[in-house]
Structures are given as C-alpha cells and as structure tokens.
Amino acid sequence: MTEVKSPLAIHGGPTALTAEPGDIFKWPIVTEEDEQAVIEVLRAGKMSSSDITKQFEKAFGEWMGRTYALGYPNGTTALRAAMWALGVGAGDEIICPSLTYWASCTQALTLGATVNFADCLPDTLCIDPADIEHRIGPRTKLIVPVHYMGHPCEMDEIMAIARKHNVKVLEDVSHAQGGLYKGRKLGTFGDAAAMSLMSGKSFAVGEAGVLVTDDKSVYEHCIAYGFYERTGAPSNYNPTEKCITDPELLKFQGVPLGGYKHRMNQTCSAMALVQLKYYDERIAEIQRAMNRFWDLLDGAPGLKAHRPAKDSGSTMGGWYAAHGLYRPEELDGLPCKTYCDAVNAELDGHYRTSPGCNRPLHTHPVFHEADIFRQGKPTVLAFGQRDVRQGPGSLPVTERTPETTYGIPWFKHDRPEVIEQFAAAFRKVAEHADALR
Ligand SMILES: *Cc1c(COP(=O)(O)O)cnc(C)c1O
C-alpha cells in the first residue's frame, strides 16, 4: 500500500469535486433568438449599411445612462478613438495601471504619447489613487482607470484628483459591464468610457467594442476620427448622416481624421441587442453564484475574496476573469503555485487554476524601446515626451501579483451543489497547507 500523507487528492486522497459541472462555465449564453437576429442581418442583404448598429448604440447608451454611444470593431479601437477625442496627442502622457491588458493603454504610443504606469491596490487590484497624483506632469492629459477583473476602481478619489489637475478620465470597462460603484454604473464617472465586447468578456458578442460619453465634443471628435459616413458628406455609395456640428471638424467631412474606419460588424450588433435584453438577469445570477462561492470560503486561511464589501453598493458586474487573493503569510509562506497545483488535483480536470493574472506592462520592452515610427529612437520618447520608463521593482504591489492572485472558477449559473464542491476544493487545500510544505 502507498503511504497516504494527507487527505489531499495530490497525495492520493479523494477529490473534493465529484459532481459534473455541466454547462456551468459556458458563456455567452446563445439562444435561438441570437441566431435569428444574426440570420436576419444575413438575409437582409445589407450587411454593412443596415441600421442595426445604430439600434444597438441607442439601446446601449440608454442602458448605460449616457447620452452618446458608438459601436466599434473592437475595444482596442474604441479606446484609441476615445484617447484621441479626449485630447491625447504627440508629446503627451497618460496614466494607466500596469496591471491590465495591453489594450488599456498601448494605443497611446500610436498617438505619439507615452504611458506613466501606476501601481494597484492589493485588495482591489485596481489603480491605487495614492499613486496617481505625483505622476501628473504638465503634459498629462488622461487617466485610464480599469475596473480590473470586474472590481470597481476608487472613482471618488480618482475623479477628485483628475478634476483638481484638469486631467480627463477614460474608464476602461472591458471587464466590468453592468458593475456598480457605490450604486452607480461603471462607465458613467469618467469623461468617456470604452470597452471590449469580445467573445471572452462578460458582455460577449464576438469582436466588438463600444464607447459612451455625455460630452458632445468627444462624440463629434470620435465621429470625425473614424465614422466618415456620419460626417454629413454626400456619398454615391452609402446612406450618410450628419452627426457633427463643430465647424472645425465639419470642414474635414467625408474623410476620417484618423484614417480609420470604425464600423461595428452588423451581425455582432444584432447579437448585442439580444444579449443586452438578458444581460442584467444573467449577471445577477453570476453574482449570486460567485458570492456564494466566496461566502463558502469565508475564514479559509490564506484566501481572500476579490470583491467589494457587501454593504458598499459596489458590485463585480459579470465577474469577468474571476480571481482570488492569496495571502501566503497566513499559510507559512506556501508558494501560490504549490497551492494551485494541489487545488487542481482536487478539481479532477474540471477547472484549472494558476497563479497570477495579467503580466505587468511597465517592464515590457514595447514601453521601453519599441520604435514604432522608425525614427531611430523609442517611440515613448520620440515626440518630446518625458522619460517615465520604469524598471523592475518600481511597482511592488503589481509585481507581486504572481504570488498574491490565482484564477477561480467563473460560474455562470447558481447551482449550490456544484459550487459547494468547488469551494470545498479551495478550502480543503488551504486547511491542509501543512501537508504541502
Ligand atoms: C479585452 C480588453 C481590451 C480590448 O478589447 P478588444 O475588444 O479585445 O480589442 C481593452 N482593455 C481591457 C482591460 C481588456 O481586457
């Protein structure tokens, strides 16, 4: 007989998970209604010029509670257009957390600007408001708070700093559609908000993005930048529309200032209209499921929920890319990787956790040496920007995340009997950490 060191599955004990998870992780939820909506676009024979995108923009703007909404081919382009419309130009700086997906900020380089990366808070993993103000310089145009993995940023503090220094705020809501900060919807705090609607996100319709704002000038600049058929120029080929009043922009009508074409795919728009109808009820179920998971783990040593306090009025939206906080000091320094390997054995292949989340951006060579404009110098300096490059050790909380975070299952359905077993797996390993050292 082999010696059993502990009840842990990694040592030969029984797995904590025995139930079949079924479709608990499947996302997005696609029904015949989505299929029908897409087929209608195909059958109408006007895949580029139907007004389905405008219907989606109207519905999404109303749902967000913002005056203007524009559909984009993806979140990356929506964020780049927003940066330009909010005044980012050659020589400027934006402030962005280092712990995010590259598309929160890398577009600044194409605008001739640079990125000054800020650290995150250990419990929210969102930008640390205390690490923003000292980074503001004479050329700082924009702060980009990212509601990271669904967690709302400290918007009161961020907006106060931005207003004090006359700096604009662009919320990246790619992870947090439908989330709330103190009872108010994310994406309604900044001068504009932009986000991905990519198939892996919590609002998922394929390759698409959307921008929202209440600021007419931002809206008109976005039109002028990438929606040539909405600038009012007559066309032999397209139905045209005039969405611009500013004479400084009107004189360029017909040719987009960015040289970009920002038109959302119509089949995605059709699906997005259907998804929007059910989104609130679907994320309400996700919230019940995910909160159930964390409630079950309350008090487990070394584990901490990544979510706002229950009575704060803040929520995690659709819990995109759900993660947990790991506190190795409560487990005698047990490495996060060792913990994750043991949890995976308990889960019997139905979900795999791993340490860390996005790789920090501030040390990436793109922000140190990439010469995008072929000028013989790093683009982050090539337009007279300040040198704000930061090496390893400069953002300690961010750099520690491979040891302080790990993936958790992203439940789309609230099925207590299944969720209880998943939570039991994470708890079991935390409670038997001694056996792993
Ligand atoms: C996915 C993502 C984007 C980019 O969106 P795409 O639709 O993939 O272009 C931007 N910011 C964040 C934080 C993201 O996760």
Question: For position 6, what pLDDT does the model report?
Answer: 85
Gyration radius from the chain CA atoms: 23
Which one, of 99, 190, 94, 113, lies nearest residue 149 by Cα? 99
Residue 395 to residues 131, 197, 363, 366, 399: CA-CA distances in angstroms?
10, 29, 10, 17, 6
| Cβ-based neighbours of 125, under 8 Å, separated by 6 or more | 99, 148, 149, 151, 306, 323, 325, 357, 401, 405
**Domains, the chain, ranges and CATH?**
9-29+279-357+399-436 (3.90.1150.10), 32-273 (3.40.640.10)
Q: How far is the CA of 99 from the centre of ligand 1 (A)?
A: 13
Atom of ligand 1 nearest to the CA of 104: 11
What per-residue confidence (pLDDT) applies to 3? Answer: 59
Look at residues 142, 116, 137, 120 and name the one whose alpha carbon lies nearest to residue 129: 120
**Residue 254 CB neighbour total at 10 angstroms:** 12
Q: What is the pLDDT of residue 48?
A: 82
Please tell me the predicted confidence (pLDDT) of residue 239: 80
* Nearest atom of ligand 1 to the alpha carbon of 146: 13
Strands (E), 286-392: 303-305, 323-326
Of the residues 174, 260, 262, 359, which should be mutated to test ligand 1's pocket, given the most ligand atoms within 8 Å of the CB? Answer: 174
Pocket test for ligand 1, best of 94, 102, 104, 106 (most atoms within 8 A of CB): 104
Q: In this structure, what token pair is assigned to residue 201?
A: 């996100």
Q: Measured between alpha carbons, how far is 122 from 401 in angstroms, rounded to an integer?
A: 8
Whole-number Å distance, alpha carbon 59 to ligand 1 midpoint, is 21
Report the nearest atom of ligand 1 relative to the CA of 100. Answer: 13
Q: 72, 76, 105: which to mutate for ligand 1, most atoms within 8 A of CB?
A: 76
Q: Using the 8-state DSSP alphabet, how is residue 7 labeled?
A: S
Between CA 158 and CA 130 the distance in angstroms is 9
For a mutational test of ligand 1's pocket, the pick from 100, 101, 202, i.e. the residue with the most ligand atoms closer than 8 A to its C-beta, is 101
Beta carbons within 10 angstroms of residue 73's beta carbon: 18
Q: How far is the CA of 299 from the centre of ligand 1 (A)?
A: 34
Four-residue CA torsion sign, 278, 279, 283, 284: negative
Helices (H) and strands (E) in the chain, counts: 12, 12
Q: What's the CA-to-centroid distance between 27 and ligand 1, angstroms?
A: 17
* pLDDT < 70 stretches in the chain: 1-4, 50
Contact 422, 351 (CB under 8 A): yes
Crossing angle for the helix pair 75-85 and 216-226, nearest 10 degrees?
120
8 A C-beta contact, residue 337 and residue 344: no
Give the number of other Cβ atoms within 10 Å of residue 365's Cβ.
8
Q: Ligand 1 centroid vs 113 CA: distance in angstroms?
A: 19
* Count of other CB atoms within 10 angstroms of residue 390: 19
Pocket of ligand 1 (CB under 6 A): 74-76, 79, 100-101, 103-104, 146, 172, 174-175, 196, 198, 209
Q: Are strands 140-143 and 168-172 parallel, antiparallel or unpaired?
A: parallel
Distance 180 CA to ligand 1 centre (A): 19
d(CA 231, CA 109): 27
- Of all protein residues, the one whose alpha carbon is nearest to atom 10 of ligand 1 is 103
